Chains A and B, each alone.
Chain A
Amino acid sequence: MIVLGLESTAHTFGASIMDNNKIISSENAMFTTEEGGMIPKLIIEHHLENFDKVIRTALKNAGKSMKDVELVSFSQSPGIGSVLQLGAVIARSLALKNKIPIIGVNHCVAHLEIARLLTGFEDPVMLYVSGANTQIIAFQEGKYRVFGETLDMGAGNFIDHFGRLIGLGFPAGKKIEESALKGKNFVELPYNVKGMDVNFGGLYTNLKQKIESKQYNINDLCYSVQETVFAELVEISERALAHCSKKELVVAGGVGCNKRLQEMCRIMCKERGAKFKPLPAEYAADNAAMIAWTGLLKYDSSGADKMEDTIINQRTRTEEVEVAWR
């Protein structure tokens, strides 16, 4: 079955063609900016300008046309309202015009499903770290459940905020990763883990004061921020592995592309006899292949959505999603 997946929840507009469990093409356009972070209005302008090209390229690179597509899958929740709405409108239009079934999927669950497909892991714990989301998710009693998460901001959001304090544009993660390699001295920072939860608000305030004091080398701060934040994330991942008695770990989300975070996950898993596989960067970050694949899983188990059920939801929680395919 040929599926067209459309991702539109935040900064990335993506389109992907899958033929059953094979990714034939996956294209995306990502909103970036020098200052101000993610502004919904600007993201909409960006996606409006790019969606047609992205979908056409995905079809072309797959050697397919809209006539070959048998199912349209789109990101229905959660995300920025207007951005989700845009994706839904595009998906509905394509489905109606070409008379093909439509299906809406949850973005967070999609991250986990593509990770399972690409790593071959049966039942992993997922550390999902992106801008808005920082969650530890595992499958238990029929649903994907959140075992731990951030109590305030997402780790990526925090990293971007920190980036803005030191004058970096959006997204700041990659630049901070580079600066961190030049950092030598570890600066002690607040370390906030509560059970399987984390929070970053106090750390942000502390860093703001440190930067304003001009007493600290920026590279050292980048290095210390990475070491502290990632140690927290790996610690809660390990606690979830122990608590759920699971043996596999995957990391998804934009922050999951960070090489140091991946290295720390690998070491932790090795020390406790668990398995870790990193995802290729393009499938760790937001992508449309995960939407296509999850749409297919959902379609195979419970059929297409009715058009009136394709309303978007900005705040669906991961544990609310029905998982009929597992």
Chain B
Amino acid sequence: MKELFRGAEAVIYEVNEKTLLKKRARKSYRIKELDEKLRKARTKNEINLLRRASSAGVCVPKVSGIEKYSFKMDYVKGELLKNYINALDEKELNCLFMKVGRGINALHGNNIIHGDLTTSNMILSNGKVFFIDFGLGSLSCKAEDKAVDLHLIKQALIAKHNRVWRKCFETIKENYNDAQVLERLKSVERRGRKKS
């Protein structure tokens, strides 16, 4: 199997043209007890979230072939948003982030918290925005958790796409329906460390 991508906690292998394998490799820097617990729990959790997102109509890779520390999924071919955004004009950005906002809205509407919303975890494929890597995700109906999730994408946009982040984030918010969460976001941001 060809190694396609080595992320922070998992390695993605190409099984064939249509299928990928995501395997959480052992991290020798942490002790065995902690390592096994994290890998097992995260694998199980991620599969659960991917299935839920899929049945909620959000574009995510379809899961198959489940094992203790790994699972197989559809190979979504396209461009990572992080490599793509900085070259877009305002109109294209608007169109793209409308899709991102609707996706996040649908996830949160089904109480799925992604947990690592960055532009490295979204793929544009055939005009659709796919969400990948639910490894740090969770299920929650709390406005707090959803607001923190929105705060994560905002931070990621500021850090990675500083020139256009305002426009992108505004578009996400315009396509987000839960006013209670958006209100909560304000208090999450005030809580940030050392903000005046």
Contact = CB atoms under 8 A, between A and B. Distances in A.
Given A195-B118, A235-B9, A241-B8, A264 B159 contact: no
Given A241-B8, A317-B194, A141 B30 contact: no
A231 B193 contact: no
Interface in B28-47: 28-31, 33-34, 37-38
Given A140-B159, A238-B8, A315-B196, A191 B34 contact: yes
A242 B7 contact: yes
A194 B148 contact: yes
A191 B37 CA distance: 11
A197 to B, nearest CB: 8
B162 interface: yes
A272 interface: yes
Interface residues of B, number: 31
B29 A268 contact: yes
Given A146-B159, A195-B136, A242-B7, A271 B27 contact: yes
Interface in A242-297: 242-243, 263-265, 267-268, 271-272
Contact of B29 (A228, A243, A267, A319): A267
Nearest to A273: B6
Interface in B1-37: 6-9, 27-31, 33-34, 37
B115 interface: yes
A27 interface: no
A147 B157 CA distance: 10
Given A140-B160, A194-B152, A267-B29, A78 B194 contact: yes
A242 B160 contact: no
A141 B162 contact: yes
B116 interface: yes
Interface string B74-96: 00000000000000000000000
B194 A315 contact: yes
Interface string B30-70: 11011001100000000000000000000000000000000
Given A195-B116, A243-B120, A234 B152 contact: no
**Chain A contact surface mostly:** mixed
A145 B159 contact: yes
Contacts of B9: 235, 238-239
A188 B35 CA distance: 12
A317 B196 CA distance: 10
Nearest to A186: B33
A231 B34 contact: yes
A227 interface: yes
A109 B31 CA distance: 32
Nearest to A244: B160
B167 to A, nearest CB: 16
Interface string A312-326: 000101010000000
Contacts of A197: 152
Nearest to B5: A242
Contacts of B148: 194
Residue among B27, B117, B160 having the largest count of chain A Cβ atoms under 10 Å: B27
A239 B6 CA distance: 10
A7 interface: no
A226 to B, nearest CB: 10
Given A141-B162, A194-B115, A194-B152, A264 B193 contact: no
A241 B28 CA distance: 17
A239 B29 CA distance: 14
Given A194-B148, A235-B9, A271-B27, A149 B33 contact: no
Contact of B34 (A78, A194, A227, A263): A227
Given A228-B34, A265-B29, 11 more contacts: A145-B162, A152-B193, A186-B31, A188-B37, A191-B34, A227-B30, A242-B8, A264-B29, A267-B28, A267-B29, A272-B6
Interface of B: 6-9, 27-31, 33-34, 37-38, 115-118, 120, 136, 148, 152, 156, 158-160, 162-163, 193-196
**3 shortest interchain CB distances as A-B pairs:** A239-B8, A264-B29, A231-B30
10 contacts: A140-B162, A194-B152, A231-B30, A239-B7, A241-B8, A242-B7, A242-B120, A264-B29, A268-B29, A315-B194
